[in-house]
Amino acid sequence: MRIAVLLSAGRHAVSGRPAPVPVELQAIRLAHDLGGEVTGLHAGPDAAPLKDTLGHGLPRLVHHRITVADDPLPSLAAALIEGAFDLVLAGRTGQGGEDTGLLPYALARQLSLPLVPDAAALAEGPQSGTLSVEQALPRGARRRLVVHVPALVTVHPAAPAALPFAFAAARRGAVEARPGLVAPRAPTQIEERPYRARPKLIAKAAAGASAAERLKAATEAASGGGRLLVDPLPEEAAREILTHLRDIGVLRSR
Amino acid sequence: MTRPRKNPRTERAAHRVEGGARPRFDLAATAKETGRPRRDPRGEERLALVPGTARRRLDRTQRIAATAISQAPAPSAEAAPTVRIIAEPAYLVAVVPDASGGRLTPHDRQLLGAARILADAGGGAVLALAEADDLASAGADRVLALPVAGYDPEAKALAVQAILAGLDIRHALFPESPDGGDLARRLAAMTGEELFAGAESLSPKAVTRAAQGRRIEQRRAPPRLISIKADAVAAHSGARHEARPVEFGFPAIALGAILSADFIPADPAKVSLAEAEFVVSAGNGVSDFNAFRALVAALNATPGASRVVCDAGLMPRAAQVGASGTVLEANCYFALGIAGAPQHLQGVARCEHVVAVNTDLHAAMIERAGLAVVADAQQVMPALLKLLDKEAGG
Ligand SMILES: Cc1cc2nc3c(=O)[nH]c(=O)nc-3n(C[C@H](O)[C@H](O)[C@H](O)COP(=O)(O)OP(=O)(O)OC[C@H]3O[C@@H](n4cnc5c(N)ncnc54)[C@H](O)[C@@H]3O)c2cc1C
Ligand SMILES: Nc1ncnc2c1ncn2[C@@H]1O[C@H](COP(=O)(O)O)[C@@H](O)[C@H]1O
């Protein structure tokens, strides 16, 4: 299977220095475990921060050189058509750029590939030419989907951890530079300013509110006092509790 | 506990009969009450005294005592709810809540709150594109269910695209949740419109989001497609809206590329406490831990515990709920024999539903709970197990 992993130029979450995006390293691991020929693709002005990805199990990285003002979409689309890949893996969202997670969707649309979001595990499908994707849902649940390849799959942070960095592999790996396509970005109305943390509107849920506020939110009743049963028979109490749990939908009736 | 405040001088003046040279008093006349009633501190204290405890304890909130007396909540308060009707909206604000299982999540309610902000700014109406109970109180004016069954995001996006093209929709709002965010991005790719993904604040004039790893804030006037993060906008708390179903002729929608989709529920025994959906937790009031573990398994829940229990080695440390343990994201928390110390309640702050069993009527956990049972946990647990067993058998 020929697999392409899309790698963006990220920034470290804490230091802000150029670094690979963790979820894309996890994508490399998923591709590595699936087996086959894995190629990294990057479109951007500089591939130096992505050298580290070679140490995390990526044998080959193709860098399409474009300027900062260019849109990476046409370059990546052209590279994916030329490479005729069976599977394209991307991160859920980047880290350090726009961080919208829109690029894989636009790319899938342009190449008319089916897109499967939030993969936590990949395996060969039941028939040949299919892929079974385990999708990460909130609260530890999963959804197993089967799609035809070629497909584009985005990877969720719940996927297995990235392969550890190996210096020899990083030296062995090759970065190939090619010219990208010139495609100036469309102007937007967006204004940018330095990030300012704003007070959370909902003090109840705020993680950063003051200690007194959090204590108040934590200790006061959720809905102004609920139902109260004083000294019921154990059977009556059990019945009440079960009906309440069914009413709020946490108890799946078997 | 209170009786009228007595003022002998005004009483005397009230009994006094007008006229005559000598002062004359008619003692049969009643004095009219004046001023504030007089407090009876001893009576108040007697009422606030918590019975059945070894130490002298006062509960001055009196909330519990009041609810204990009036057992069933009076339905008269919601006898005639006022409904706000927007008959001729200038435009529509569409909302696509997740509403998994026909139930609005807190995030969905915040989304409807955001839609109300955008709709009320110009006389618009809110159109909810899902079927769920409670849409009226969450602030939806119109309801339209999407004709998509099962997991098929591509078909869902096509249906929403048809609505965007067919109706006068000024904004479409999506939750920035796994499924909602996916749908919003599919739609943006499909229509070629700009999506403002993961908005962190919203007003009729501007939306903002974080970019570049929270170093930059991006801001613009609200575009058509917006996805909103959780806890960014307050839910609608005003009058009910009518939530009137509307008709729409959907075009025939081809099936998406997904060949099969199976839902695999999380194994509650393995899922981490922070991710768990339903937590059953034991405190110092639980002594029968075999029954507790059996109950946790029977209810298909994740086990938790208070610090006292973990300190005693009766439950693993990883099960500790609270400020120095795990802060839960669970939907429901079932506390057995837990007093509800502030350190413990902080861990439960984000749980929507709390059920408590405690012998102490005045425990803070009882006050926090949506369903509170004042009973012995050692008797309730076997009763619950027996009932669950009977239901599974019959
Ligand atoms: C810095 C700090 C951090 C802390 N962090 C945490 C934390 O993260 N998590 C945490 O849990 N605690 C924490 N604590 C401890 C916390 O203050 C309380 O001591 C603890 O939560 C009390 O646990 P409990 O409610 O199980 O026990 P108790 O306070 O002993 O309460 C037992 C309750 O069970 C009831 N009961 C007794 N018998 C029965 C019965 N037969 N049936 C039903 N009910 C019965 C009693 O009425 C009582 O309400 C912390 C404390 C400190 C100082
Ligand atoms: N310039 C780029 N070159 C290669 N892949 C990219 C680039 N930008 C984004 N991607 C991929 O698209 C995903 C989502 O990025 P974004 O839309 O920027 O959040 C990333 O995790 C990458 O896998």
Domain residue spans of chain B: 89-245, 273-387
pLDDT given at position A206: 47
| Contact status, residue B225 vs residue B187, Cβ threshold 8 Å | yes
B57 CA distance to ligand 1 middle (Å): 18
Inter-chain residue contact A201 with B216, CB threshold 8 Å: no
Give the architecture-level CATH label for domain B89-245: 3-Layer(aba) Sandwich (3.40)
Window 286-305 of B, Cβ < 8 Å to A: 299-300
The pTM for the full model equals 0.76
Among B337, B332, B341, B333, smallest CA distance to B375 is for B337
- Taking contacts as CB-CB distances below 8 angstroms, the residues of chain A near B217 are 192-196
Would you state the structure tokens that stand for residue A201, as one six-digit string? 């509107």
Report the pLDDT averaged over residues B124-148: 91
Q: How many CB atoms lie within 10 A of CB B361?
A: 19
B283 CA distance to ligand 1 middle (Å): 6
Q: Which of A174-183, A238-247, B23-32, B305-314 has the lowest mean pLDDT?
A: B23-32
- Give the SS3 label for residue A20: coil
Ligand 2 and A21: CB distance under 6 A = yes
Residue A97 has pLDDT above 90, yes or no: no
Q: Which of the two residues, B246 and A210, has the higher pLDDT score?
A: B246
Total CB pairs under 8 A between chain A and B: 258
Ligand 1 and B273: CB distance under 6 A = no
- Tell me the pLDDT band of B82, cut-offs 50, 70 and 90: confident
- Residue from A6, A38, A92, A185 whose mutation best tests the ligand 2 pocket (most atoms within 8 A of CB): A6
Q: Which of A93-97, B115-119, B163-167 has the lowest mean pLDDT?
A: A93-97
pLDDT over 90, % of chain A: 67
Inter-chain residue contact B373 with A117, CB threshold 8 Å: no
Q: Where are the alpha helices (DSSP H) in chain A?
A: 22-34, 51-55, 72-83, 103-111, 167-172, 211-219, 234-247
Residue B73 has pLDDT above 50, yes or no: no
Could you tell me which CATH number the domain at A2-179 has?
A: 3.40.50.620
Residue B177 has pLDDT above 60, yes or no: yes
Q: Which of A9-18, A220-229, B157-166 has the lowest mean pLDDT?
A: A220-229
How do residues B223-273 score in pLDDT, each as one tens digit?
999 999 988 888 888 889 999 999 988 888 777 778 888 888 888 877 888
Q: Which residue of B has its CA nearest to A251?
A: B299
Would you state the structure tokens that stand for residue B198, as one six-digit string? 């993961």
Give the architecture-level CATH label for domain B273-387: 3-Layer(aba) Sandwich (3.40)
Candidates B67, B156, B212, B329: best to mutate against A (most CBs of A within 10 A) is B212
- Give the SS3 label for residue B239: coil
Q: Where are the beta strands (DSSP E) in B54-206?
A: 83-84, 92-95, 125-128, 142-143, 169-175, 195-202
- Tell me the pLDDT band of B1, cut-offs 50, 70 and 90: low
Q: Which residues, other chains included, contact B160 with Cβ-Cβ below 8 Å and sequence gap of 6+?
A: B94, B96, B129, B146, B172, B183, B187
- Taking contacts as CB-CB distances below 8 angstroms, the residues of chain B near A137 are 178
pLDDT given at position B34: 62
Among B383, B382, B377, smallest CA distance to B363 is for B377
| Contact status, residue A86 vs residue A150, Cβ threshold 8 Å | yes
CA distance A152 to A4: 9
| CB neighbour class for B191 (10 Å; exposed up to 12, middle 13-18, buried from 19) | middle
| Contact status, residue B173 vs residue B196, Cβ threshold 8 Å | no
pLDDT given at position A132: 94
Report the pLDDT averaged over residues B140-155: 90
Q: How many CB atoms lie within 10 A of CB B352?
A: 15
- Taking contacts as CB-CB distances below 8 angstroms, the residues of chain B near A145 are 151, 258-261
Residue A214 has pLDDT above 70, yes or no: no
pLDDT given at position B95: 95
pLDDT given at position A213: 66
CA distance A128 to B296: 42
* Gap from A191 CA to chain B (nearest CA, Å): 5
Q: Which of B177, B194, B354 sits opposite A188 (nearest CB)?
A: B194
How do residues B259-299 score in pLDDT, each as one tens digit?
888 888 888 877 888 888 899 999 999 999 999 999 999 99
Residue A222 has pLDDT above 80, yes or no: no
Candidates B227, B327, B334, B384: best to mutate against A (most CBs of A within 10 A) is B384
pLDDT given at position B70: 38
CA distance B73 to B83: 22
Would you state the structure tokens that stand for residue B241, as one six-digit string? 């809206």
pLDDT given at position A223: 46
Name the strands in the sheet holding A151-155, side by side, starting at the edge strand that comes first in the sequence.
A174-179, A60-65, A37-44, A2-6, A87-91, A151-155, A115-124, A130-136, A142-148, B258-264
B306 CA distance to ligand 1 middle (Å): 6
Handedness of CA A228, A234, A236, A242 (dihedral sign): positive
| CB neighbour class for B42 (10 Å; exposed up to 12, middle 13-18, buried from 19) | exposed
Q: Which of A156-165, A235-244, B149-158 has the lowest mean pLDDT?
A: B149-158
Phi–psi pair at B67, nearest 5 degrees: -70, -30
Residue B48 has pLDDT above 50, yes or no: yes
- Residue from B273, B351, B359 whose mutation best tests the ligand 1 pocket (most atoms within 8 A of CB): B359
Mean pLDDT over each residue of chain A, to the nearest integer: 88
- Tell me the pLDDT band of B74, cut-offs 50, 70 and 90: very low
The ranges assigned to domains in chain A are: 2-179, 198-254
Inter-chain residue contact B346 with A214, CB threshold 8 Å: yes
Q: What SS3 string covers A130-143? A: EEEEEEECHHHCEE
Residue A14 has pLDDT above 80, yes or no: yes
Q: Which residue of B has its CA nearest to A254?
A: B392
- Tell me the pLDDT band of B394, cut-offs 50, 70 and 90: low
* Gap from A166 CA to chain B (nearest CA, Å): 27
Residue B80 has pLDDT above 70, yes or no: no
- Taking contacts as CB-CB distances below 8 angstroms, the residues of chain B near A118 are 178, 182
Residue B359 has pLDDT above 60, yes or no: yes
Q: Where are the beta strands (DSSP E) in chain B?
A: 16-17, 24-25, 83-84, 92-95, 125-128, 142-143, 169-175, 195-202, 207-211, 216-220, 225-228, 240-241, 244-245, 258-264, 278-282, 302-305, 332-336, 353-358, 371-374
Residue B206 has pLDDT above 60, yes or no: yes
pLDDT given at position A215: 64
- Taking contacts as CB-CB distances below 8 angstroms, the residues of chain A near B375 are 229, 231-232, 234, 237
Ligand 2 and A104: CB distance under 6 A = yes
Report the pLDDT averaged over residues A204-230: 62
- Tell me the pLDDT band of A218, cut-offs 50, 70 and 90: low
Would you state the structure tokens that stand for residue B112, as one six-digit string? 């409807």
Q: Which residue of B has its CA nearest to A194?
A: B216
How do residues A39-92 score in pLDDT, each as one tens digit?
999 999 999 989 999 999 999 999 999 999 999 999 999 999 999 999 999 999
Give exposure, A118-131, as e/b (b: 16+ Cβ within 10 Å): bbbbbeebeeeebb
Handedness of CA B382, B385, B391, B394 (dihedral sign): negative
* Gap from A163 CA to chain B (nearest CA, Å): 23
Q: Which of the two residues, A201 and A8, has the higher pLDDT score?
A: A8
* Gap from B8 CA to chain A (nearest CA, Å): 43
pLDDT given at position B72: 45
Mean pLDDT over each residue of chain B, to the nearest integer: 86
* Gap from B180 CA to chain A (nearest CA, Å): 11
Residue A224 has pLDDT above 70, yes or no: no
pLDDT given at position A237: 94
Give the rounded distance of the alpha carbon of A21 from its chain centre.
10
Q: Which of A190, A218, A228 sits opposite B67 (nearest CB)?
A: A228
- Residue from B55, B284, B317, B355 whose mutation best tests the ligand 1 pocket (most atoms within 8 A of CB): B284
pLDDT given at position B94: 95
Inter-chain residue contact A218 with B185, CB threshold 8 Å: no
- Give the SS3 label for residue B370: coil
Would you state the structure tokens that stand for residue B295, as one six-digit string? 């109950």
